[in-house]
A = this chain, B = another copy of it.
Amino acid sequence: MPKPTFFNLPEDKRRRFTDAALDEFALHDYRSASVSRIVSTLGIAKGSVYQYFEDKQELYLYLVTLAAQTKFECIDAAVRGEASVRGNVSAPSSEPGFFERYERTVYHGARFDFTHPRHGTLLYNATYEPSGEMLAVSARLREQSARYLRSLVEAGLATGDLRADLDVEFAVFALYQLTISLRDYLSERFRFSFKGAVQAGAGPPISDEALREVIAELARLLRQGLGPVATTTEEQRTQPRVC
Contacts and interface: CB of A to CB of B under 8 A. Distances in A.
A222 B229 contact: no
Interface in A198-243: 214, 217-218, 221-233, 235-236
Range for the number of chain A residues in contact with chain B? 35 or more
B185 A173 contact: yes
Interface of A: 28-29, 31-32, 98-99, 125, 128, 130-131, 156, 160-164, 166-167, 169-171, 173-174, 177-178, 181, 184-185, 188-189, 214, 217-218, 221-233, 235-236
A233 B233 CA distance: 11
Nearest to A167: B217
A228 B162 contact: yes
B230 A227 contact: no
Given A173-B185, A224-B224, 10 more contacts: A29-B130, A98-B226, A156-B226, A163-B228, A171-B221, A173-B184, A181-B181, A225-B225, A230-B231, A230-B236
11 contacts: A29-B131, A32-B130, A161-B227, A169-B189, A173-B181, A174-B218, A177-B178, A222-B227, A224-B225, A224-B227, A228-B235
A185 B170 contact: yes
Contact of A225 (B164, B169, B214, B221): B221
